[in-house]
Amino acid sequence: MIDVQQITKRYGQHTAIDRVTFSVAKGEVLAFLGPNGAGKTTTMRILTCFMPPTEGRATVAGYDCLEQSMDVKRRIGYLPETPPVYQELTVQEYLRFVGRLRGLAGAVLTTAMSREIERLGLGSVQHRLIGNLSRGYRQRVGLAQALIHDPPVLILDEPTVGLDPKQIIEIRELIKSLAGSHSVILSTHILPEATAVCQRVVIISGGRIVAEDTPDRLSTRLRHSEKIALTLTRPPGDVEARLRQVDGVLDVHGNGPAGHFLLESHLGKDIREDIARLAVTNNWGLIELKLISMTLEDVFLKLTRHEEELTPGSDAAAGLASAVNENNMGVPS
Amino acid sequence: MTRVNTLVAKELRSYFVSPVVYVVGAVFLLIVGLLAYIYIVFTGAQAIQLMQVQGQAQINLNDLVFRNLFSSIRFVLLIVLPILTMRLFAEEKKLRTFELLMTSPIGLNEIVAGKFMSVFVLFLGLLGLTGLIPLTLALFSDFDWYPILTGYVGLALLGALFLSVGVLASALTENQIVAAFVSFGLLLFLWLLAGVGSLLGDTPAGQVISYLSFMEHYDHLVRGLVDTRDLVYFASALILMLFLTHRVVDSTRWK
C-alpha cells in the first residue's frame, strides 16, 4: 500500500533523512519509532505530499507522491504533530469544512461527520469552538479530521500526545480496530505504544532506519542472554557467589535496591527452577522470581545510542532499571 | 470550483468570528463617511458663497464631492486592506493548519483563488456599504451617475490589486505584522512610482514608470474614462501578484 524507496531529504547542508526504504502492506499497522529529530515527521510529510523528497521515490496505493499527488492526497488521512484545527470554528463546522475539502457532500458528509463524532467521543463538544477545547479534545478532533473521508491509508504523527491514559487506551483501541481495513503508519517515541498496537516497528535514528521487524523479533534478535529478576528478603552475605554456582548462570548483578538481583543465564536455558530450589532450601525469603524479556525500550536505547556510550555494564543496568520500571510504573499498554 | 467555494465560505466565517473585521470595517466606514461629510459641507459652503455673489449657483457634485472622495479613499484602502489580508497565509502557517490544506486534495491554484476571493468578497461588501453616500445625496441633489459607477469599478479594481499584493505578502511570512508591513511597503512603492514617473516627465522611461503605478489608471476611471489599457493594467497586475503568490507558497514546500 505504501512503498518508500531510498528517499533522502536534505535541508541545505543538513540531511534529515538518508536513503530510507520501507513498505507497508494493506491493513498493516506500522510504528515509526525514534527519538525527537530522527526524521519521523519529515518522512511523513513526504508521504503526504506536503514536501517532495530530495531523492528517491515514494508511492501510496500505487500513486507517486510527486507526480500524482492529488490521487495520493485523496487516499490519505493525515494527522500532523500539531492538530491542524481552526480555533474559530466549532467541531461540527470544522469537520464539515474538512469533509468538503476532501470531496464529501450531502448525506455522505452528514453520515461521515456523525460517524467520526461518535467514534471519537466528540458528541458533547460538537457545538463548541475548537479554541475552547482542551488539548486532548483537539487531538481527537484532529483524528476525526484524518478519518472523515475514510481513507485507506492513515498517517498519524504522534497520535496520543496530550491525551490522558484512558484516552490513550481508547485511541489505541481505535487504531487497532482500523488494522485490517486500513494501512496505518504512526510515529511515536512512546515505546509501549508501538508494542501495543503495531504489527511491525521501524526504528529510525539520525535519519536512517536502524531496525525493522516485529516487536517480538526485535527484542529476541538483540538479546544475548536471558535475564531473570530475583528478590529476596533475607539474602546472606555470600548470596551472589552462591547464585553464580548454579549451573547456567553467567552473571549476577546486585546493584539495584537491597535484596534485588539480576541474573543472566545462557539463552534458551530456564534456570528459574534451580534458583527457586536454592532460595527456598536456604530460607532466603524468596518473594519474586521473574523472567525479563528485553523490552522494546532496551532495544530502542541500544539501537539509537551511539557506540561509544555503550559500556559493558550499562546493558545490565538498563535491564534492571526497566525491570523496576515495569513493576512500579504500570505503564498503560 | 466547489472546493474554492468551501474555502471562501470558511475564510469568511473566520473573518466574521474575529474582531479584526468589525474594527477595520467600522474604521473604514467611519473615515469614508467623515471624508464625504467634509467634502459635502465644504461644497455647501461654496454654494452659499456663490449664491451671495452671483445670485445663483451651479454646483457640480461630481467634481467637488465624488472625485475628491474617490481620491481620498485610496489612502484609506492603503492602510486598511493590508490588515485584512495579513492573516490569510501567515496565520495558517503559524497555527500549522497549512499542512491540512496542503495535504488535502485541493490544488494550489484553488487555495490561492479561495484566499483571494474570500477577502475580495469581504472588501466588496464594505465598498457596497459606502454606496449609501451617493444614494443619500441623490435624494437631495442631481448629479451624473456614470462617473460614480466607473469610480466604483476603479475602487473595486484598485482594491483587488491591493488585496493581491497583501495575499502575496502574507504568503511570504508566518508573522502577520510582517505581512501587513510588507504589503503596506509594496503598495507605497507602487504609489510613489507615479511621482517618479511624473518627475521624469514625457520621456519613454517616465511613461513606463507611470504606467507601472496604479495612480493614472485609477484616476482615469474616477474621471469616467473607461480605457482598455487601464483595465488590462489592473488585470495583469492582479494575475501577476496571484501567480507570484502561487510560486511563493509552492516554494515553501521545497525548503
Cβ of residue A131 closer than 8 Å to a chain B Cβ:
no
Per-residue confidence (pLDDT) for residue A321, from 0 to 100? 41
Q: How confident is the model at residue A196 (pLDDT cuts 50, 70, 90)?
A: confident
Instruction: Answer for the pair B133, B73: CB distance below 8 angstroms, yes or no.
Output: no
Half-sphere exposure of A184 (CA within 13 A, CB side): 29
Place of cell 515505546: A191
* Mean per-residue pLDDT of chain B: 91
Nearest-neighbour CA in chain A from B127: distance (Å): 25
Q: How confident is the model at residue A225 (pLDDT cuts 50, 70, 90)?
A: low
| Average pLDDT, integer, range B150-170 | 96
Query: Which of B122, B107, B11 shows the shortest CA–CA distance to B77?
Result: B122
| Average pLDDT, integer, range A186-207 | 83
Place of cell 487504531: A175
Closest-CA residue in chain A for B19? A88
**pLDDT tens for each residue of B59-69:** 788 888 899 99
| Average pLDDT, integer, range B198-220 | 88
Q: Which domain holds residue B198?
A: 2-252
Cβ of residue A9 closer than 8 Å to a chain B Cβ:
no
Packed helices B19-54 and B2-17: angle between N→C axes, nearest 10 degrees: 80
Task: Tell me the pTM.
Answer: 0.81
Query: Which of A85, A166, A159, A99 shows the shortest CA–CA distance to A128?
Result: A85
CA pair distance A138, A122, nearest whole angstrom: 10
**pLDDT tens for each residue of B100-125:** 999 999 999 999 999 999 999 999 99
Nearest-neighbour CA in chain A from B113: distance (Å): 14
Q: How confident is the model at residue B231 (pLDDT cuts 50, 70, 90)?
A: very high
Per-residue confidence (pLDDT) for residue A305, from 0 to 100? 62
Which stretches does DSSP call E strand in chain A?
2-11, 14-24, 29-33, 55-60, 63-64, 76-79, 153-157, 183-188, 200-205, 208-213, 226-232, 249-253, 260-265, 286-292
* Greater model confidence, A131 or B202: A131
**Domain spans, chain A:** 2-219, 220-329
Nearest-neighbour CA in chain B from A52: distance (Å): 7
Closest-CA residue in chain A for B8? A97
Nearest-neighbour CA in chain B from A179: distance (Å): 22
Q: How confident is the model at residue B252 (pLDDT cuts 50, 70, 90)?
A: confident
Cβ–Cβ of B97/A84 closer than 8 Å? yes
* Probe site for chain A from B104, B115, B250, B252 (most A CB atoms < 10 A): B104
Per-residue confidence (pLDDT) for residue A317, from 0 to 100? 41
Cβ–Cβ of B3/A101 closer than 8 Å? yes
Query: Which of B127, B25, B129 shows the shortest CA–CA distance to B83?
Result: B25
Which of B13, B98, B104 lies nearest to residue A89, judging by beta carbons?
B13
| Average pLDDT, integer, range B23-37 | 94
Which of B2, B97, B253 lies nearest to residue A50, judging by beta carbons?
B253
Q: Which stretches within A245-330 are classed as H helix?
A: 272-281, 296-304, 314-329
CA pair distance A139, A84, nearest whole angstrom: 9
Per-residue confidence (pLDDT) for residue A171, from 0 to 100? 87
Domain A220-329 sits in CATH at: 3.30.70
- Number of structural domains found in chain B: 1
Superfamily of domain A2-219: P-loop containing nucleotide triphosphate hydrolases (3.40.50.300)
Lowest-confidence region among A181-185, B52-56, B246-250: B52-56
| Average pLDDT, integer, range A243-267 | 78
